[in-house]
Amino acid sequence: MPPKPSPNREPDPMSGVVDRLLAQLPGLQGEPATPPRSMYRESSSPGGSIHYVPPPQDELFGPWARVVLSLALGTTIVWWPYSRSCGFPLLGYLGAVFTIIVSGGWAASSAWRYRAGLAHILALIIMFYGLVMAAAELLPRTGYALDRATWECGDQSGQQSWTAAGSAQSVRIKT
C-alpha cells in the first residue's frame, strides 16, 4: 500500500516543470488541435454528427475492374477444356482455382479500401466459390470424402491417361 501524503508536505519541485510542459502542448490552452485527415468530416447540421464522404467515382474503377476480372475467371473455369482427374492437368486446374481465390481476395481488399460494399460482397462470394471448387478436388484425394481419387494417374499401358475432355478415347473390349 502506498504511503499516505502528510498534510505538512511541501509541493513537488517538478510540478512547475510539468505544468510548463503541459502548457506548451497544442490544443490545451484554447488552441484548436489539427484533426487527422480522414474520410470523415463533421456535418454543418446542428446535430454535429459525422458523415461518411464517399470516394470519387473515378477511384471506384479499380475495385470494380478487379471484381469483373475475378468474376470472368470464375465463370470461364466452368468450361475447363482438360480432364482434371489426375496428373499435371489436375495441378493446372488447381493452379487456376488458386488464381480465382487470390484474385477474389485481391478484389475484396481493394473494395474494402475504397469502401465499395457491393464490390466487396461479390469479391467474397468469388473467393468462397474458389474455395468450394478447390475442396471438391482436394477432399476426395485426402480421404475426407466418400469418393476416392488419386493424385497420380495409374495407367497400365505406359502411356499418359489424361487427354482433352472432349477427345475420343479408345475402349478395350475383352474377347
Domain ranges of the chain: 87-144
State the Cα–Cα distance between residues 40 and 168, nearest whole angstrom.
63
State the Cα–Cα distance between residues 114 and 61, nearest whole angstrom.
10
Closest CA to 97 of 67, 127, 142: 127
pTM here? 0.58
Let me know the angle formed at the C-alpha of 134 by 119 and 137, rounded to the nearest 5 degrees. 155
The mean pLDDT of the chain is 77
State the Cα–Cα distance between residues 133 and 128, nearest whole angstrom.
9
Q: Per residue in 77-102, pLDDT tens? A: 989 888 888 889 899 999 999 999 99
State the Cα–Cα distance between residues 175 and 58, nearest whole angstrom.
70
Closest CA to 106 of 138, 64, 135: 64
77 touches 137 (CB < 8 A)? no
27 touches 33 (CB < 8 A)? yes
Of 21-25, 91-95, 103-107, 126-130, least confident by mean pLDDT is 21-25
Q: Per residue in 128-150, pLDDT tens? A: 999 999 999 999 888 877 777 78
